[in-house]
Amino acid sequence: MKQLSHVDSYGNACMVDVTDKPATSRMATAQGYVRMQPETLRMIHSGEHPKGDVLAVARLAGIQAAKQTHSLIPLCHPLMLSSVQLNISSCGDRSVRIDATCRVTGSTGVEMEALTAVAVAALALYDMCKAVDRSMLIDNIRLLEKIGGASGHFVAK
């Protein structure tokens, strides 16, 4: 049975020691959705939103969040990310899809950075639009793909 990596032999939470792990190329992609009223999405795309470019703010928030993941999640290692890419696109007339891909050459993965980027981009979008649509729903945040490290390649089904 696999052991939890962030728990020591006494059951205490601890940071994983990556001192002896080799630095390898690693990548992770995460995805999430923000569901909203059609009028809210129309306002975002038409540029009529009173707060400005909602998608640009959400994209920047996601990038910033990926770079600060170690400050937000207690046992994450600080990483020198080599790339953070966010793509925000409409899905029909009621949803926005957020995809984040993070890359690093290092001794630990970037899954948490990609997931954090998606979550914070979604929260920023919500914050920008809550005055016109408090019924928005953030959902289905998940890891889509991970490459690199000892556990190898993962692709969500």
Distance CA(131)–CA(99), nearest Å, equals 25
CA–CA gap between residue 55 and residue 8 (Å, rounded): 42
Structure tokens belonging to residue 39:
């009028």
Q: Give the active site residue among 17, 127, 133, 139.
A: 127
**Is 127 labeled as catalytic in the residue annotation?**
yes
The closest of 101, 144, 145, 147 to 121, measured between CA atoms, is 101
Distance of CA 26 to the CA centre of its chain: 15
Q: Where are the alpha helices (DSSP H) in the chain?
A: 38-46, 54-67, 69-72, 111-129
State the catalytic residues: 127
